[in-house]
Structure 1
Amino acid sequence: MFDTFEREAFRLETLADYSKSGNADAYQAFLSGQPQPTDYNESWLSEVRAHTGDGRRICRVHILSRPLTPYLRFELGWGYRRNATGGEEFFILDTTDKPNPLEGVEDFWLFDEGTAVVMRYDDTGAVTGRDTVPESRAQEFVAIRDTALAHAEPFSEWWKKHAGT
């Protein structure tokens, strides 16, 4: 889908731990206190730059609560901060002190408001599958995206207030 989307790729993230879904070596380096490699996540960052350079938008909302899990400290501190330099936009829907307006919603990607791909994970955060949803249901995912964005705040603002919490 990343080869064909024309306007926007939106991602909703709902898990506190994706450590079994990739970047295992980088996560272990983070946990052991090593500095972030200068080329960390370079292939994704190059792809993001290509898309955003062509005027396409890639954005995410992560629903989370504090205190952050070790994995979220890694994802936000190493991943989000670095990927933002390529133009990817990040938002945080922090449910620490408020109800989750999207309780029970699964992770998904939404491309151009027409194609949704639901991401399936097991209890360890490992990807178990991806299901492309019929286009007739795309508006359900557009509504979820809109709700997520309406309740979220830009990552950079959230990070200034809550980094490390």
Structure 2
Amino acid sequence: MHGRSCVPRRTVRSNRAQQVPSRQGLAWRARRNSDLPVTVATIAIRILDVTDRPNPLDGAPDFWLLDRSTVVLMHYAEDGTQTGRELHEGDPAPFLEYQRVAVAESVPFREYVQRWPSSLTS
């Protein structure tokens, strides 16, 4: 798998009433996944928090971009349960642009966590 890349994109909004638990769960899951002893592919987790600002990717579907050429569209229910996925047969160019915007507008996970250290580590 050397030289391959995988870029997931999933938009999640914080519910103000559940904001801290959501961030705690996110921190736990990312720390748990980053502690795996063997990693076939590395995923650089970045957070694009759209809680207090417009979403620069509003309208873009959730997707995985594999090797900058293969797009898998991800489908989710309102509660976040995955309901399916499908291989996108069209041009990957729009998804490359979504990726560019997502990286430019997001921050690395560790930087995001440091903004709320007490609520994420308790």
Task: Give the shorter-chain TM-score range.
Answer: 0.7 to 0.9
CA distance in 1, matches of 2:99, 2:49: 15
Q: Of the two structures, which has the highest relative contact order with CA contacts closer than 8 Å and spacing of 6 or more?
A: 2
Which residue in 1 is equivalent to 2:11?
14
Which residue in 2 is equivalent to 1:55?
none
Residues 1:77 and 2:27 are matched in the alignment: yes
Which residue in 1 is equivalent to 2:88?
133
Gap change, CA 1:96 and 1:123, over 3 Å in 2 = closer
Count of paired positions? 112
Gap change, CA 1:148 and 1:130, over 3 Å in 2 = same
Task: Give, in angstroms, the shift of residue 124 of structure 1.
Answer: 2.1
Which residue in 2 is equivalent to 1:148?
102
CA distance in 2, matches of 1:72, 1:5: 32
Specify every segment of 5 or more residues in structure 2 that has no aligned partner in the other structure, as ranges: 37-41
Which residue in 1 is equivalent to 2:39?
none
* 2:48 counterpart SS class: strand
Q: Percent identity?
A: 34
* 2:79 counterpart SS class: coil
Specify every segment of 5 or more residues in structure 1 that has no aligned partner in the other structure, as ranges: 16-63
For 1:103, give the aligned amino acid.
Answer: D
Gap change, CA 1:128 and 1:5, over 3 Å in 2 = farther
Residues 1:117 and 2:67 are matched in the alignment: no
Gap change, CA 1:106 and 1:162, over 3 Å in 2 = farther
TM-score (norm 1): 0.59
Task: Give, in angstroms, the shift of residue 95 of structure 1.
Answer: 1.7
How well do the aligned residues superpose, as a CA RMSD in angstroms? 2.4
Which residue in 2 is equivalent to 1:107?
62
Which residue in 2 is equivalent to 1:47?
none
